[in-house]
Structure 1
Amino acid sequence: MKEKLVRVGTTYIPVTNIEQSSEWYTSNVGAVLTYKDQDKAILNLANQSMFLVKSKENQRANFIDSYGEERFSLTFEVDGLDALKAIHQEFTDKEIRVGEIEDRGHAGRNFIFYDIDGNKFDVWSELSPDFKGNSKSY
């Protein structure tokens, strides 16, 4: 195979109410709405396209690992510990459900947050080296 997968272009997130969820993502995490109908909303967030897809109740992007722990399927990156602390405080001030800032035994720090449908996401204080070196868009 000569070609390589270059980047993740789109992530799909299950939501129960397109209108409420698209408003939540634009007002709380800075997403830019580019399209919306009754079944989906397309957002630009974190240099990626995010589709909010109308789903049945209790559908989430989370999964249970082999130890019975609920896990997130997506980690957002910020540029450094100060940025992580600032966004954690911003989310706390907006009354977004967030976890504590954690040391998980690897470079940087993390915290988790949830959207209004219970989708769990991670935030990491370290930008990937390839992104930091090649992108001026953040």
Structure 2
Amino acid sequence: MNKKLLRVGTTYIPVSNVEHSSEWYVNKLGAELSYKDEDKAILNFANQSFFLVKSKENQSSNFYDICGVERFSITFEVNGLNALEAIHRDFIDKQIRIGAIENRGHSGRNFVFFDLDGNKFDVWSELSPIFKEKYLISQ
């Protein structure tokens, strides 16, 4: 038996209003709603499940690094710079709070975006080679 961790199956995201947040993720990010009650919603997108969990106010998945910079805990990947630029424009059109496309000194480009509760997420223009190979994605 292979005892290695194989994938991340579920990510939990704190939200203040499950109803509003689940609608936002469905309408803005194209998530598929698979379950919802007063305390949580289960969404599927980006090849995994996300649980939106009703939390106390002013909670987020963000954290601060040693220099006091607010960081994201999740980076989504897209297939290339053109795809990154296209989703950036789409997020602008959907009035999602986003940052500028950045060169962070490594391959590819990135930008950040925020959900209704200020959860900060990253988008990177480089798909992992293993994902590309598994899903037969070519440039």
User: Is the shorter-chain TM-score for this pair beyond 0.5, marking a shared fold?
Assistant: yes
Which residue is 1:9 aligned to? 9
Change (3 A) 1:55 1:136: farther
- What amino acid is aligned across from residue 104 of structure 1 in structure 2? R
Structure-to-structure mapping, 1:1-138, within 5 angstroms? 2-135=2-135
* 1:2 to partner: Cα distance: 4.9
Describe the SS at the equivalent of 1:85. helix
- 1:104 is displaced (CA, Å) by 0.4
Letter in 2 for 1:91: F
Q: SS at 1:89's partner residue?
A: helix
Please give the secondary structure, in 2, of the residue aligned with 1:117.
coil
SS in 2 for 1:19: helix
- Letter aligned with residue 83 of structure 2: A
Query: What's the CA shift for 1:136?
Result: 5.2
Shift of 1:45: 1.1
**Equivalents in 2 of 1:9, 1:128: separation in Å?**
17
Aligned residues: 137
TM-score, normalising length: structure 1: 0.96
Give per-residue Cα distances to partners, 1:27-78, cap 9 Å, x unaligned. Answer: 0011000000000000001000000000000000000000000000000000
Q: Give the TM-score, by structure 2 length.
A: 0.96
Residue 135 (structure 1) shift: 1.9
Q: CA separation in 2, counterparts of 1:95 and 1:22?
A: 16
Deviation at 1:110, TM superposition (A): 0.1
| Distance in structure 2 (CA, Å) of the matches to 1:45 and 1:59 | 22
Q: Name the SS for the 1:76 alignment partner.
A: strand
Q: Give the match's secondary structure for 1:6.
A: coil
Residue 38 of structure 1 aligns to a residue whose secondary structure is coil
Cα distance in 1 for partners of 2:50, 2:41 equals: 8
Q: CA deviation at 1:7?
A: 0.5
Local SS of the residue matching 1:7: coil
Secondary structure of the 1:84 match is helix
Aligned-partner Cα distance in 2 for 1:66–1:136: 39
Partner SS, residue 130 of structure 1:
helix
Distance 1:136 1:70 in 2: 35
